[in-house]
Amino acid sequence: MDIRVINLNKAFGSHVVFKDKSMVFADGNRTVVMGDSGCGKTTLLRILMGLEPFDSGEVTGVPERISAVFQEDRLFEEFSVESNIAFAAEKGITKETMLRHIAEIGLLENAYQSINELSGGMKRRVAIVRALLAKKELLLLDEPLKGLDEQNRDRVASYIKRHSEGVTTILVTHDVDEVPLMDAELVLL
């Protein structure tokens, strides 16, 4: 089922973020949401997750099972890479599958290191694997490729595309190059 945002209105005090905003996110497609800083990209994701109320309008078609990568990685710093992923992984995913995914993003040798020993880009990749291995019908990614060098950015983009095929995916970014990189439709806010 498509996700429909119809005549959405949201303000924080006197700052209007959305005024009668409407958009559709097609079922099973990847969509990149772009816009200037402060235009409501992260607020939109928070509304879709049910973390932020909106003032008026309608949001329909949001499935129950949502997985997300937030702007902050939100990892358990004292846990290992593998433990962080296992915490959120869909029931029944084997350790071998998790290690295969960790290898795909170039972190196999770090699988048993604590998160607090990793660089920011490495943490970002862990957060992405964790979100992709969770049971989901909707994948929300808030600037997932930020902080990654070009080689890792391309590797992670390929990884996301491979493992989100058929899952409605909404990705927020400031980088217009990520639209073709992710083979995605574009929504401008």
pLDDT in tens, the chain (189 residues): 999 999 999 999 999 999 999 999 999 999 999 998 889 999 999 999 999 999 999 999 999 999 999 998 899 999 999 999 999 999 999 999 999 999 999 999 999 999 999 999 999 999 999 999 999 999 999 999 998 998 999 999 999 999 999 999 999 998 888 999 999 999 999
The residue among 72, 67, 104, 99 whose CA lies nearest residue 86 is: 99
Rounded to two decimals, the pTM is 0.94
- Domains contained in the chain, CATH given: 3-80+135-188 (3.40.50.300)
Instruction: Check if the beta carbon of residue 45 is closer than 8 Å to that of residue 140.
Output: yes
> Residue 162 carries which side chain, given as an amino acid letter?
R
Q: What is the pLDDT of residue 38?
A: 85
